[in-house]
Structure 1
Amino acid sequence: MTKAKLEAEKIGPFRVAPRIREGAHTGTWIIDVPPHLSPTGKRARHTLATKTEALADAKRMLRELQLDGALSGRGFGRKLSGVTLAEVSKRWLEEQVDRVATGKKRQSSLDADGFKLKAILGKFPETDISTIGTRDMADYQKHRVEAGCVAATINAETSLFLQVLRWAQEKGLVEKLPKVERIPLAVKRVDVPTPEEMSGIMDALGKERALLVRFLAETGVRKTEAFTLEWSDLDTANQLVAIRRKDGFTPKTRHSDRDIPISASLCDALSEAKRAARAKALTAGETPPPLVFPGRFGGRLVNIRRALASAVKKAGVKRNGQPLKLSPHVLRKAMATWLHVRGVPDALLQPRLGHAPGSRVTKSVYVKVTTEDMRASVIDLEAERRARVGAPETAKTA
């Protein structure tokens, strides 16, 4: 290798130089990292096989340094051109990981965000975020429609897209956010069972699953809240169930952290189930399970849709000639509907569901008007006419 090719090169604060040992070039190259940029606070050297690889890695490190400076407002200038969506997304996700670690965000939400970003980056892998406009967002929606995605999925992805761009705007990397028109969602009909129908459905379930379904229907908790419920969360003396943060579970919002009163009979049924679970474990020489509603092999449940579908079919509960579609979330809506029909005000319903005070979601999403409720509001003009015409004749006859 010629002397010219062995010359060191500066890439920003980094120095790329041939690795010399005992006065001779070893054939490898190093990246010299100054102490103030090294994680250890000491000078560091990275060894690479070729000068080309060393230069490429040094340029990558410089880019990372420039982007970190632009995002933090320190060091390098905030104005940085050519920042890609991939670069911004990476750092946005790192911040979300920190939020999960501090309990500000649920791990499941972070996982969902990761899947959405993967789809978005598939369309905009190296796109400069400052150039993304309304037309690009519309093209993305069209791209996802052609891929066979449903409107709800596309709307969720574009919402996250805007969230990341808004974060970049706060960091000074984007001046103006694009406008996005959401794709209209088809109105989904959700039928809730009556309390009488739920009684028949529970009769069609096994004892353990029937208790879980009863608990879901009477408390209106989210399925993850029920599936992670531990015996220590049950206060039998005061007939209360505590929904609290614990290892492996973070409430959806701060309003989800709550105490829910339960009926005396449900409290007795849960206490009996606890005694039975403890006796079974002791007989088998095992430690009693901490979960109130464990899965088949003692672990955490994932879903009970199949058990519900089988019970609904066995109980013969139908809507429009078809078995009623029942899920833990529908049970949550059923409870909200039953209490609303009984005249329970939103001020009491919202904290029970874990909703924020004054939330419009409670009535718009959870309270469902049943057919029987609608029947009470039927207008019969013919009956009105008969009453009006017949009244004078009745009076005249009298």
Structure 2
Amino acid sequence: MKRRGKGGGSVFYHEGKGKWVAQLTWVDPATGRKVKREKHCATRREAEQALADMVAAQARGLLTDPSRLTVRDFALEYLRRLEKEGLRPNSIRLAQEELAHALPSLKDPKAHDPLGRMRLQEVKPVHVRGVLDRVMEAGYAPRTVGRVLMRLKALFREALRLELVARNPAEAVRVRLPKGEKAARALEPEEVARLLEAAEASRSKDMALLLRLMLETGLRRGEALALQWGDLDLEKGEVRVWRSWTKAGGKGAFSEPKTPTAKRVVPLPRGLLLRLQARREELLERLTLEEVAGLFLVGGDRPVDPDSFNHYLRRLAERAGLGRVRVHDLRHTWATLALSRGIPLEVVSERLGHASPTITLGVYRHLLEEERRGYVLDLEDLLYPATRAKA
């Protein structure tokens, strides 16, 4: 056995296992308990390097006391902490649903959950990769798998901040979309026309109007559902977005917008403005101006269930022969069409309510790169326009 000084650990050969062992022992100042860490290596040099790494990590406070805390238990604590920090109910619900793809026991404690039952400190990148592969094999889209990985990264990032783990095992894992796969679908102008035609033929005028509003402004579903007629200034031609209608725990509830910049005033296109004015005039035939102002665009005295619009859009898209169209695709369509027609990135970001143009750029970088290929400066055209014209 080769020993270092006090607190330096030791390196020795284990006859029974035929391995070199790096061993470090210290006293946890928080509990007063003696803690021992061992690592088995093939050679003495590897063991000595492993010991040096452990000593350095322990000195920096990164070598945590082995804990029985499981990934599932920490995930439950993490979700409760998000709720205490005031995260929007819908955001918490989405976080739980996406984490549950990797940790099924979050929804059903008896479910088969290899990762959830592992100790938090035992998880390695290979375990994260394995659970993502199982999610993919279950038939979920690559975009969903990417969201699951994002949640696992955030979960272990919190554990790292709390010094419960020495590294984030999810950071080393990557999920790449297959060639041609897009995170969201942007409808072509002809597809938008077909969808709107199907909406005009539907029985619900208010749902059709809400669909057109989302397509022409890029509002999120919750933002659009929370709108009352009093939020629209039809004289100025703008709408004030200041809250969201979401679903949490099976019930609808109002919440703050997703980001501070999501509280915004959005101008209304002329065609949409005329339709809104006509619809308000219909309501004013039987109600006072004050009564109309308190009504929601869809639902009257109370916003409709968020899922109702999802079902409406699905049926509408099938009727229009468009296949599957998701609610977020409407917002993505507006942003794509706006950028492709030269509306500045900063304006698009502001209308979408993004926290910054950087976020918008990250989502639509591919589109902007395609558009920029057409921006070239030809000196021949600039310096000799007459000659080029004759040619």
TM-score by length of 1: 0.60
User: Does the C-alpha gap of structure 1 residues 324 and 171 become closer, same or farther in structure 2, counting only changes over 3 Å?
Assistant: closer
The unaligned stretches of length 5 or more in structure 1 are: 1-64, 67-77, 377-394
1:386 corresponds in structure 2 to none
From the superposition, tell whether residues 228 and 181 of structure 1 become closer, same or farther in structure 2 (CA, over 3 Å). same
Aligned counterpart, 2:129: 138
The answer to whether the Cα contact below 8 Å between 2:115 and 2:127 also exists between their aligned partners in 1 is: no
Judged with a 3 Å threshold, the aligned counterparts in structure 2 of structure 1 residues 279 and 368 are, in CA distance, closer, same or farther, namely farther
Query: Following TM superposition, by how much is the alpha carbon of 1:366 offset from its aligned partner in structure 2, in angstroms?
Result: 7.7
Pick aligned residue for 1:221 from 219, 243, 253:
219
Superimposed CA distance per residue, residues 94-149 of structure 1 (whole angstroms, 9 cap, x where no aligned partner): 2101122xxxx221111122233444252234422111111211222233344444
Q: Which residue number corresponds to residue 270 of structure 1?
A: 276
Alpha-carbon distance in 2 for matches of 1:128, 1:177:
14
Distance in 2 (alpha carbons) for counterparts of 1:106 and 1:235: 27
Amino acid at match of 2:352: L
Question: 2:177 maps to what in 1?
Answer: 185
Answer whether contact 2:219 2:352 (CA < 8 A) is retained.
yes
3-state SS, counterpart of residue 259 of structure 1 = strand
**Partner amino acid, structure 2, of 1:214:** R
Establish whether residue 115 from structure 1 lines up as the match of residue 97 from structure 2. yes
Asked whether the 8 Å contact 1:234–1:242 carries over to 2, the reply is: yes
Contact 1:227 1:293 in 2 (8 A): yes
2:238–2:267 Cα contact (<8 Å) kept: yes
- Residue-by-residue CA offset, 1:316-357 (whole Å, 9 max, x unaligned): x6xxxx546544433323323333343211121221122222
Query: Which amino acid in 2 is paired with 1:181?
Result: V
Does structure 1 conserve the Cα–Cα contact (< 8 Å) formed by 2:226 and 2:303?
A: no
Distance 1:339 1:146, change over 3 A: closer
CA 273–259 in structure 1, closer or farther in 2 if over 3 Å, else same: same
Asked if 1 retains the 8 angstrom alpha-carbon contact of 2:296 and 2:302, the reply is no
- How far apart are residue 248 of structure 1 and its match? 1.1
Q: 1:199 to 1:300 in 2, by over 3 A?
A: closer
Q: Deviation at 1:167?
A: 0.8
2:344 maps to 345
Q: Secondary structure at the match of 1:248?
A: strand
Equivalent runs, 1:296-375 vs 2, <5 Å = 299-305=304-310, 307-308=312-313, 323=322, 325-355=324-354, 356-358=356-358, 359-364=360-365
* Paired position in structure 2 for 1:10: none
Seen in structure 2, the aligned counterparts of structure 1 residues 135 and 217 have a Cα distance that, compared at 3 Å, is: closer
Contact 1:230 1:290 in 2 (8 A): yes
Q: Distance in 1 between matches of 2:366 and 2:306?
A: 26
Any conservation in 2 of the 1:168–1:174 contact (CA below 8 Å)?
A: yes
**Alpha-carbon separation, structure 2, partners of 1:312 and 1:217:** 14
Does the CA contact (< 8 Å) of 2:186 and 2:336 recur in 1?
A: no
- In 1, the alpha carbon distance for the partners of 2:82 and 2:283 equals 39
Matched with 2:19 is none
Answer with 248-257 or 304-313: which moved more: 304-313
CA shift digits 1:244-276 (9 cap, x unpaired):
136613322233221101134533432443353
Query: 1:138 corresponds to which letter in structure 2?
Result: R
Identify which of 84, 88, 95 aligns with 1:98: 84
Contact preservation (8 Å) 1:350, 1:357? yes
Aligned CA distance change for structure 1 residues 116 and 215 (closer, same or farther; 3 Å): closer
Distance 1:292 1:108, change over 3 A: same
Name the residue aligned to 1:250: 256
Compute the RMSD of aligned alpha carbons. Answer: 3.9
Give 1:294's aligned residue. Answer: 299
Aligned length: 286
Change (3 A) 1:235 1:313: same
Query: Which residue of 201, 206, 230 maps to 1:204?
Result: 201
Q: Distance in 2 between matches of 1:332 and 1:133?
A: 37
Distance 1:277 1:98 in 2: 42
Unaligned 5+ runs, structure 2: 1-29, 32-63, 106-112, 245-252, 375-390
The 1:369–1:197 alpha-carbon spacing in structure 2 relative to 1, beyond 3 Å, is: farther
Distance change in 2, residues 1:300/1:199 (3 Å): closer
CA separation of 1:361 and 1:292: change in aligned 2, threshold 3 A: farther
| CA deviation string 1:288-322 (max 9, x = no partner) | 853112289863443435544655666xx6xxxx5
When residues 159 and 336 of structure 1 are mapped into structure 2, their CA distance, relative to the original with a 3 A threshold, is: closer
Query: Residues of 1 paired with 2:369 and 2:201: CA distance?
Result: 25
1:195-251 deviations in Å (ceiling 9; x for gaps)? 655664454344333322221222121222111112232123322111113661332
Matches of 1:272 and 1:253, distance apart in 2: 32
Residues 248, 255 of structure 1: CA spacing in aligned structure 2 closer, same or farther, 3 A cutoff?
same
Give the match for residue 74 of structure 2: 88
Q: 1:87 & 1:309 partners in 2: Cα distance?
A: 37
Q: Secondary structure at the match of 1:252?
A: coil
